[in-house]
Chains A and B, each alone.
Chain A
Amino acid sequence: MSEPILELRDLKVSITDQRDTQIIKGVDLKIGRGEVHALMGPNGSGKSTLATTIAGSPSYTVDSGQVIFKGEDITALKADARARMGLFLSFQYPTVIPGVTMVNLLRAAMKARTGTDLPPREFLVQLRATLETLKMDESFARRYVNDGFSGGEKKRAEILQLGMLKPDLAILDETDSGLDVDALRTVAEGVNALRTPEIGVLIITHYQRILNYITPDFVHVLVAGRIVRSGGPELALQIEENGYDPILQELGIAEEAVTA
């Protein structure tokens, strides 16, 4: 395999304000270029913590281990530096930015990512094309970021940014939840349109649903801050059918111990 786009080495993460609470307890993961990985796991197992830690959230502190992105150790880098290197997180709960339009945000983000201010005309062409792929109305771009958006609109707004920023690694944290079938298909198409042999995708999900549209190469199961199982797409199907209980039982952990 060529050099992975993302590599986590025995990553241990705690909450910055509560350093004695470790959420991620030693995760190893390699995502190669062109690969789609799915990360599944019960509620509270640490999926979002892992995702936002990879993105550089100051709310979490890496106790030990490394995050390697495009061959570079980015463990100590700030979120904005990571993003400019081509890392993108689609938030599980996107934040409202009052008074800042999607266009404002996209222009600033693209400028930061590319280091140049795209001519307005070119920007508009790209914006229209991306909106069309996502079956979104142009008026959407003039609304304030996530302000008064429905759950589905928030997720699409994330994918709109993904489509415009064209990252090298996309982490989608439960981008599928709260979407109806049509919206799910549109979002999945948006992600698929972006896939190239160069980029990596990490899809965090509860359900196998989205994986019907974006076929993963690998599936990992996170339980209580550890990846307890990895496999192919069939692992997602098993979970869809039987839930996490069989895996947990096999590991000798009761469900309560995981979600408590």
Chain B
Amino acid sequence: MAETTITTTAGTHAAQYGEDAVVAAATTRGEPDWLRDQRAEAARAFGALPMPTPQLRPWKYTDVTALAIDGYAPVTDAGWMRVQGGTPARGFAGTIADAIADADHGERVRTHLGSMVRATEGKFIAANAALWRTGAFVYVPRGQAFATPVTVTLEAPAEAGRALFPRVLIVAEPASEVTVVLRNHSGDADLLVSAVVEIIAGDDTNVRLVLDGRWGDATREFTTVRSRLGRAAHVQTASLAIGGALVKQTVEGLLEGEGSTSSIRGAALGGREQHFDFVTLQDHIGPKTESDVEIKAALAGASKSIYYGITRVEETAAGAAANQVNRNLLLSGHAKADSDPVLEILTSDVIRCGHGATVGPVDEEALFYLQSRGLDRREALQLLVAGFFRSVLKDVNVPGLEDELEAAVMAKLATAEL
């Protein structure tokens, strides 16, 4: 399993994670006081917080107690993240550093950065808050829409033993619309990634986030995505995890505004000894809110997928509707999945609330049907898995990307141990 492959010595780069170094680096970069203070607080939290242990439910099947975050050297140069997008008037899509250089955008970053995901919440998040180097800031003004999706591309460095801390802040003013795609690439080196994405979706907004995870074989990713939804806001997250040694993503929607809807879709295609761990939270706070979770894993080789999700309908969320589904397709006899969708309903006034989980092998009848059309077993499985992922892929909704991801799925299955 992934944790046994850890070779780094604990704390080799601990100095760089300390408050002094973090503050010094921020000062050298000329960051404003508020940001330097934020980082200092985060560095202190990092030092004080323990690593999560399997005693904590979201970490039950992903044991990181042997992993030392500060055994990885934080990447300090700024070039590995690029932000591109057809920005509307008064809007912004670029690095946080550039945003801060502007008075208006700088003020927005200051208001919102760290407001959704607090540095003190956990060890990985604290490391990110202290050490993120290049962040992306996306801002859509009231009533505006981005002409094209904003693409945030992460090109990880080739050297092993590096830690990346991607940070993304999306602020959508009322009645605006934006799609943000996070594209991840890395080589074969042993890398650690701790990412934080914060989404503030105002009233009547439409925000889409796509996580295109095509890390190299030895990258370990820990990501937290949290969005807050205003009245009638729609937030949709679609994550496709193909690469990486270990991918743990926590995606949360706080449905505060009346009539807001949050959709979380995830697809993981495992091979080798890959380890995926999805955690979701849909927290219905406002009335008539709707949420939808669909996490799918297709697992070849000795890969593994874990899902733990809570859909909570608070007392205040009268008339809410929720659906939560986790499906696991075992493509080999060695693959494993664990599924735990949880509903917590605190009001008697719900429209509908469903949840389901399945873990099982491929439908032999479907396999025979395709084979009877001339497809060999592998080709048939490729088609079945692409079909299985369709519900997630079609929500990607970015021109060309759906086909590209499907091709990546096919390519991986062309050689995976089935």
| A100 and B365 within 8 A (CB) | no
What is the minimal beta-carbon distance from B385 to any residue of chain A, in angstroms? 9
| A99 and B375 within 8 A (CB) | no
| B391 and A165 within 8 A (CB) | no
Residues from 371 to 418 in B contacting A, C-beta threshold 8 Å: 371-377, 379-380, 383-384, 386-391
Q: Is A11 an interface residue (CB 8 A)?
A: no
Q: Is B366 an interface residue (CB 8 A)?
A: yes
| B370 and A104 within 8 A (CB) | no
What is the minimal beta-carbon distance from B11 to any residue of chain A, in angstroms? 47
What is the minimal beta-carbon distance from A80 to any residue of chain B, in angstroms? 4
Contacts of A58 in B (CB 8 A): 364, 368
Which residue on A lies nearest to B391, using beta carbons? A99
Q: Is A113 an interface residue (CB 8 A)?
A: yes
| A98 and B373 within 8 A (CB) | no
| B370 and A97 within 8 A (CB) | yes
| B375 and A109 within 8 A (CB) | yes
Q: What 1/0 mask marks residues of chain A from 85 to 110 whose CB sits below 8 Å from any chain B CB?
A: 00011010011111110001100110
In the complex the two chains form, what is the Cα distance from A1 to B373 in whole Å? Answer: 29
In the complex the two chains form, what is the Cα distance from A113 to B379 in whole Å? Answer: 13
| A97 and B368 within 8 A (CB) | no
Residues from 41 to 98 in A contacting B, C-beta threshold 8 Å: 55-59, 78-80, 82-84, 88-89, 91, 94-98
| A83 and B373 within 8 A (CB) | yes
Q: Is A161 an interface residue (CB 8 A)?
A: yes
Contacts of B391 in A (CB 8 A): 99
A108 and B369 contact, Cβ closer than 8 Å, known pairs A99-B391, A100-B384: no
| B366 and A97 within 8 A (CB) | yes
In the complex the two chains form, what is the Cα distance from A257 to B113 in whole Å? Answer: 78
| B371 and A108 within 8 A (CB) | no
A95 and B365 contact, Cβ closer than 8 Å, known pairs A104-B386, A108-B379: yes
Task: Among B365, B370, B388, point to the contact of A98 (Cβ < 8 A).
Answer: B388
Q: Is A244 an interface residue (CB 8 A)?
A: no
Which residue on A lies nearest to B385, using beta carbons? A99
What is the minimal beta-carbon distance from B58 to any residue of chain A, in angstroms? 29
Contacts of B363 in A (CB 8 A): 95
Contacts of A94 in B (CB 8 A): 369
In the complex the two chains form, what is the Cα distance from A59 to B363 in whole Å? Answer: 13
Contacts of B390 in A (CB 8 A): 98-100, 144
| A83 and B388 within 8 A (CB) | no
Given contacts A80-B371, A83-B372, A95-B363, list 9 more A-B pairs with CB under 8 A: A58-B364, A80-B373, A80-B377, A82-B372, A89-B372, A97-B369, A98-B388, A108-B370, A165-B373
Residues in A lying within 8 Å of B, measured CB to CB? 55-59, 78-80, 82-84, 88-89, 91, 94-100, 104-105, 108-109, 112-113, 144, 161, 165
Residues in B lying within 8 Å of A, measured CB to CB? 363-366, 368-377, 379-380, 383-384, 386-391
- Can you give 7 contacting A-B residue pairs, CB < 8 Å? A80-B375, A84-B374, A95-B365, A100-B386, A108-B370, A108-B373, A108-B375
